[in-house]
């Protein structure tokens, strides 16, 4: 049995891309929550005895035959329920109301920013929204509720959704058509906090310290007296995972740093000395540059690179497991964004954007079982947990660096020579960022080496060399990102230094694409 606080919220997942954001908002309100796919919600309910339930959105459509339903027992448990988007629609249908598909009403849907007007007081709006006020929310639906279920009334309405918020205060059931969990609903986090605190009566005193205690208990239960190999990259996620697991199982843990020749300048030495200097956890440093670079020769497709790297990481971990007399578990610092971009959380219909090496890039055949204590968290929450665990700021504040390293920053063929060129340019860029005092204001910054040659003139001679792209973004969780707006003098200075100091690059460009529509990495 896993331990968990008795004061909890059960989130029933119908396959929305943003279900994890609901969990995150609940955590931000100081309340413990767990997500269960709708197929397993009844069992989770019996185990957790939650004080409230949230029903997520979904790509499915309630009027479609075979679309998911919540276990009917949840509506008879006498505890508050908040249905979001599909959650509102499915609750309405299951309690006797009506939902019609967009194509039937002929009105189309609402996608993006919308405004609603508050028409009645509601416990969700306490201390936040008054009757008659208009508020911005974020919508994403084609279907709509056309007749609410007995006991409900409308408490807020929008042009496209007359039933934007419906409430049955007697049963404490609430249905909202918009998405309070996304940042584009400015008051969304407060609405969710009103649900957990005012409606469900939870104190909001759950903390990262409790998350730490819960995960330690779970790791002990999962691992028993088995041995664990932990992939340690020097990044914040694996450093936090390693320290947490070490706290749980001590000497049963061995960390392995895979030096694949795709690291940044000086990084391998730094990671090893910083980790060994801070922790008394066994760390194996494997130099496998040749293995990775020879395998990557002539591989140019981004997904093929990622799959090869994912598989080769596992080969190395398995060799190390043998070297310590066998290990049953592989620990990784996998976070939620790695999971959602690679595969669907519930095995449902969300799409693969790119195969993160540690999730979608894993080989089908794996001898070790995964231990991934950070799998539900977002990066900024991992940093908070790192601080809770007392990790040095040098780990906690580091920019993320992808496991496949420079291989996905060199579109086209990856060679040692091209890695060396990129390492030099990247080091100059980061040095200038640090000197300008901008490192902490930027979420991630790096150089890419393009498979494009252009003509230049240097010292009156013609050059014909590669183009270097510079990228810098701000973000809170890596799911969305904005371009960092450097001033032109800064960029000009970096470009001049790179062209002057790095042989093989004669032109520098800056990437002005946000995410979406771009992604942070180029591959």
Ligand X SMILES: O=c1[nH]c(=O)c2[nH+]cn([C@@H]3O[C@H](COP(=O)(O)O)[C@@H](O)[C@H]3O)c2[nH]1
- Residues of this chain that interact with ligand X (CB under 6 A) are 306, 337-338, 341, 354, 356-358, 400, 402-404, 444, 478, 515, 519-521
Query: Known catalytic residues?
Result: 85, 179, 181
Considering the rule CB under 5 A, would residue 443 count as an interface residue with Mg ion? no
Query: Is 58 assigned a ligand-binding role in the annotation?
Result: no
* Shortest separation between residue 341's beta carbon and ligand X, angstroms: 5
Q: Which stretch binds ligand GLN (CB under 6 A): 55-63, 127-135, 367-375, 381-389?
A: 55-63
100, 141, 264, 379: which one binds ligand GLN (CB under 6 A): 141
**DSSP secondary structure letter of residue 409:** G
CA atoms lying within 13 Å on the CB side of residue 392? 11
189, 200, 236, 520: residue in contact with ligand ATP (rule CB under 6 A): 236
Q: How many residues bind Mg ion (CB under 5 A)?
A: 3
Q: What per-residue string of b and e applies to 500-517 under the rule 16 or more CB within 10 Å gives b?
A: eebebbbbbeeeeeebee
CB 243 within 8 A of CB 385: no
State yes or no: residue 231 binds Mg ion (CB under 5 A).
Answer: no
Give the separation between CA 177 and CA 84, rounded to whole angstroms: 6
Cα separation, 96 vs 324, whole angstroms: 61
The minimum distance between CB 483 and ligand X, in angstroms, equals 13
- Per DSSP bridges, beta strands 329-331 and 369-371 are parallel
List strand residue ranges (DSSP E) for 187-320, in order. 228-231, 253-259, 283-287
Please tell me whether residue 61 binds ligand GLN under the rule CB under 6 A.
yes
Q: Which does 142 bind (CB under 5 to 8 A by kind): ligand X, Mg ion, ligand GLN, none?
A: ligand GLN
Alpha carbon separation from 216 to 2, 55, 211, 213, 373 (Å, rounded):
10, 28, 9, 5, 9
Q: Is 466 annotated as a binding residue?
A: no
16: annotated binding-site residue? Answer: no
Residues near ligand GLN (CB under 6 A), total: 13
Per-residue x/- mask for ligand ATP, residues 177 to 216, rule CB under 6 A?
----------------------------------------
486 binds Mg ion (CB under 5 A): no
Q: Token pair of 313, please?
A: 């990481």
Would you tell me how many other CB atoms lie within 10 Å of the CB of residue 435?
A: 11
Q: How far is the CB of 182 from ligand X (least distance, A)?
A: 17
**Cβ closest to ligand ATP, residue 139 vs residue 281:** 281
Residues in the chain: 523
Is 268 marked as a binding-site residue?
A: no
Residues near 460 by beta carbon (within 8 Å), at least 6 away in sequence: none
Interface residues toward ligand GLN, by CB under 6 A:
16, 57-61, 85-86, 109, 140-143
């Amino acid at each position: 049995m896993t331990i968990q606080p008795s004061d909890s919220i059960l989130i029933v997942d119908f396959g929305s891309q943003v279900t994890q954001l609901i969990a995150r908002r609940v955590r931000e309100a100081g309340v413990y929550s767990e997500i269960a796919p709708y197929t397993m919600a009844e069992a989770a309910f019996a185990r957790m005895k939650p004080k409230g339930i949230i029903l997520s959105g979904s790509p499915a459509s309630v009027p479609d035959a075979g679309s998911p339903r919540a276990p009917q027992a949840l509506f008879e448990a006498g505890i508050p329920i908040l249905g979001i988007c599909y959650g509102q629609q499915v609750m309405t249908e299951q309690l006797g109301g009506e939902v019609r598909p967009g194509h039937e009403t002929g009105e189309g849907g609402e996608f993006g920013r919308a405004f609603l007007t508050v028409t009645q007081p509601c416990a969700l709006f306490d201390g936040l929204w008054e009757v008659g006020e208009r508020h911005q929310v974020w919508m994403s639906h084609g279907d709509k509720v056309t007749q609410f279920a007995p006991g409900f009334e409308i408490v807020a309405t929008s042009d496209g959704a007359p039933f934007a918020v419906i409430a049955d205060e007697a049963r404490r059931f609430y249905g909202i058509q918009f998405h309070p969990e996304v940042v584009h609903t400015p008051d969304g986090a407060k609405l969710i906090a009103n649900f957990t605190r005012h409606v469900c009566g939870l104190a909001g005193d759950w903390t990262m310290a409790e998350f730490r205690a819960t995960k330690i208990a779970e790791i002990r239960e999962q691992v028993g007296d088995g041995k664990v190999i932990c992939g340690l990259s020097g990044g914040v996620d694996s450093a936090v995972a390693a320290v947490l697991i070490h706290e749980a199982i001590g000497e049963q843990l061995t960390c392995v740093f895979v030096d694949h020749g795709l690291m940044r300048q000086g990084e391998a030495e730094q990671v090893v000395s910083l980790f060994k200097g801070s922790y008394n956890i066994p760390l194996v440093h494997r130099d496998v540059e040749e293995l990775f670079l020879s395998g990557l020769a002539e591989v140019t497709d981004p997904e093929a690179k990622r799959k090869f790297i994912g598989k080769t990481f596992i080969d190395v971990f398995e060799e190390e497991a043998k070297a310590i007399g066998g290990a049953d578990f592989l620990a990784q610092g996998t976070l939620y964004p790695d999971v959602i971009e690679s595969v669907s959380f519930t095995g449902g219909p969300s799409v693969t954007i790119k195969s993160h090496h540690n999730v979608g890039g894993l080989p089908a055949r794996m001898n070790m079982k995964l231990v991934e204590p950070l799998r539900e968290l977002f990066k900024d929450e991992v940093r908070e947990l790192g601080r809770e665990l007392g990790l040095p700021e040098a780990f906690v504040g580091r920019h993320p660096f992808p496991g496949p390293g420079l291989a996905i920053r060199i579109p086209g063929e990856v060679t040692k020579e091209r890695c060396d060129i990129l390492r030099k340019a990247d080091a100059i860029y980061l040095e200038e960022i640090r000197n300008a005092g901008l490192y902490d204001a930027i979420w991630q910054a790096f150089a890419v080496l393009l498979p494009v040659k252009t003509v230049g003139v240097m010292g009156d001679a013609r050059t014909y060399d590669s183009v270097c792209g510079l990228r810098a973004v701000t973000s809170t969780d890596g799911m969305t990102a904005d371009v960092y707006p450097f001033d032109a003098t800064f960029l000009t200075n970096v470009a001049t230094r790179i062209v002057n100091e790095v042989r093989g690059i004669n032109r520098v460009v800056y990437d002005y694409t946000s995410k979406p529509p771009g992604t942070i990495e180029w591959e």
